[in-house]
Chains A and B, each alone.
Chain A
Amino acid sequence: GDSVTQMEGPVTLSEEAFLTINCTYTATGYPSLFWYVQYPGEGLQLLLKATKADDKGSNKGFEATYRKETTSFHLEKGSVQVSDSAVYFCALSGGDYKLSFGAGTTVTVRA
């Protein structure tokens, strides 16, 4: 079945550092790929998505490129802020009704 494997955390960074969170997937067909973010005390929010190979999703300075050849969708941000501290989830949808999530990566950014 469909599954997502993402980099284990926690990840601790200083402000303005570069962030990468690795995500790889296993799926039949051509899934859509997502990154969700969960801030403390809040629900999941869609951060960005890509629906086909070589698409780049971007939002709030975050980017991720759908790489079919390596079945990856790594999340990157060039200069993190304290407000980026959250749990980040990689997810996929195989075109049916459900999302399959990774285990999440906790990111803490220190001033």
Chain B
Amino acid sequence: ETGVTQSPTHLIKTRGQQVTLRCSSQSGHNTVSWYQQALGQGPQFIFQYYREEENGRGNFPPRFSGLQFPNYSSELNVNALELDDSALYLCASSLALNEKLFFGSGTQLSVL
């Protein structure tokens, strides 16, 4: 049990819709990262937030956006959903930059 919780656990959307995924970081953690894990693949880095500011971004289009709140919880928003966005989305928090990551169990998104 890592203390990182994600909601919802499963979600079904249709192409073109928008989705918001939520993550509650482990207590005291000020850094959160989001990863996309397609079926049979390793997680791919989407972006990281540190103290409410985006600190780095992977090779994902602008329709993937995020927020980190003052309590360090976080959201991942995806606009104009595409079929290829179907994946497990993982949130990970850490005590600070470059510290050990604690992963949540993920949100399984299916786009039909």
Chain B residues within 8 Å of chain A by Cβ, number: 24
Judged by a CB distance under 8 angstroms, whether B19 is at the interface is no
In the complex, per-residue mask of A49-82: 1 if CB is within 8 Å of any chain B CB, else 0: 0000000000000000000000000000000000
Judged by a CB distance under 8 angstroms, whether A29 is at the interface is no
- CB–CB B2/A98 < 8 A: no
- CB–CB A104/B41 < 8 A: yes
Nearest chain-B residue to A95 (Cβ)? B98
Say whether chain B's binding surface is mostly helix, strand, loop, or mixed: loop
- CB–CB A98/B33 < 8 A: yes
| C-alpha spacing A35/B103, complex, angstroms | 14
Given contacts A44-B103, A97-B56, A98-B33, contact A89 B97 (CB under 8 A): no
Residues facing A in B27-79 (CB within 8 A) are 33, 35, 40-45, 48, 55-56, 58
Q: Apart from A97-B55, A98-B48, A99-B101, what 15 extra A-B contacts exist at CB < 8 Å?
A: A43-B90, A43-B103, A43-B106, A44-B92, A45-B103, A46-B100, A89-B42, A91-B42, A93-B98, A98-B58, A101-B43, A101-B44, A102-B42, A103-B41, A104-B40
A sample of 6 cross-chain residue pairs with beta-carbon separation below 8 angstroms, ordered by A number, consists of A44-B101, A96-B56, A97-B98, A98-B56, A99-B43, A99-B45
